[in-house]
Chain A
């Protein structure tokens, strides 16, 4: 059975801190790994990673994939209160090419 595990489950930091969120996976026929941010209801897309070792970057957020060790990290530098959200990791794989989500990391950034 495909599995995606995120850690930590929750994290509380202060503005300006740097955080690293982890995602490990066991998926057959891996195709890609996706990161989403869920603030209230609708998750919004952050990154898609398909190749090992290539960093994707968007402003203060960056992510990298290690296909050998089967994990990805999402880094957020100089955190702001607006970064408070649930960060979801999902992997595309399996025979049905479906998304398997992790349980998410709840990030709280205090002023």
Chain B
């Protein structure tokens, strides 16, 4: 069974640009959530999608957005990049909405560097 796949794995952007990251969940999983991981802040929740609808959102500015497609694949977009957006962006999938089942399956992340 294939795991959670994130693309691209690494990317470098400059300030002011925008970026789109992609996440393909485990087959059959309908929930996709996104996290930002930085050395100073740890893992921070961005948002969660379930059945193409955003269900939960963390405390991030509107420059961070996402969507989910009918096949459960999800994309997140960051516009007007800032230096502080440099981070590892992790996607996690689960069968049910939220984390009531406990077990999230994480992808290996997309490492974004903003210069």
Q: Which residues of A are in contact with B by a Cβ distance under 8 Å?
A: 31-32, 34, 36, 40-45, 48, 88, 90, 92, 96-104
Contacts of A88 on B, CB cut-off 8 Å? 42-43
CB-CB < 8 A to B45: which residues of A?
A: 98-101
B46 to chain A, nearest CB (A): 10
Question: With the chains together, A48 CA to B44 CA distance in Å?
Answer: 19
- B residues 83-115 near A (Cβ < 8 Å) are 88, 90, 98-100, 102-109
A41 touches B109 (CB 8 A): yes
**Of B56, B98, B99, B109, which contacts A34 at CB under 8 A?**
B99
Inter-subunit contact B106/A92 (CB<8 Å): no
Asked if B42 and A45 make an inter-chain contact with CB atoms under 8 angstroms apart, the answer reads: no
Chain B residues with CB under 8 Å of A43's CB are 43, 90, 106
Considering only CB atoms, which chain A residue lies closest to B9 in the complex?
A41
Instruction: State which of A40, A48, A97, A101 has its C-beta within 8 Å of the C-beta of B103.
Output: A48
Q: How far is the CA of A53 from the CA of B55 in the complex (A)?
A: 32
Give the residues in chain A near B107, CB-CB below 8 Å: 41-42
A97 to B56, Cβ gap below 8 A?
A: yes
Q: Assess the A42–B106 pair: CB atoms within 8 A.
A: yes
Q: How far is the CA of A34 from the CA of B98 in the complex (A)?
A: 13
In the bound assembly, the distance between CA atoms of A98 and B104 in angstroms comes to: 12
Contact of A31 with B42 in the complex, beta carbons under 8 Å: no
In this complex, the member of A44, A98, A101, A103 whose beta carbon has the largest number of chain B beta carbons within 10 angstroms is A98
Residues of chain B contacted by A90 (CB below 8 angstroms): 43
* A47 vs B98: C-alpha distance when bound (angstroms): 16
CA distance A40 to B88 in the complex (A): 11
Q: Are B104 and A101 in contact (CB under 8 A)?
A: no
Task: Please tell me if the beta carbons of A96 and B99 are within 8 angstroms of each other in the complex.
Answer: no
Given A41-B88, A42-B90, A45-B103, decide whether A97 and B98 contact each other with a Cβ distance below 8 A: yes
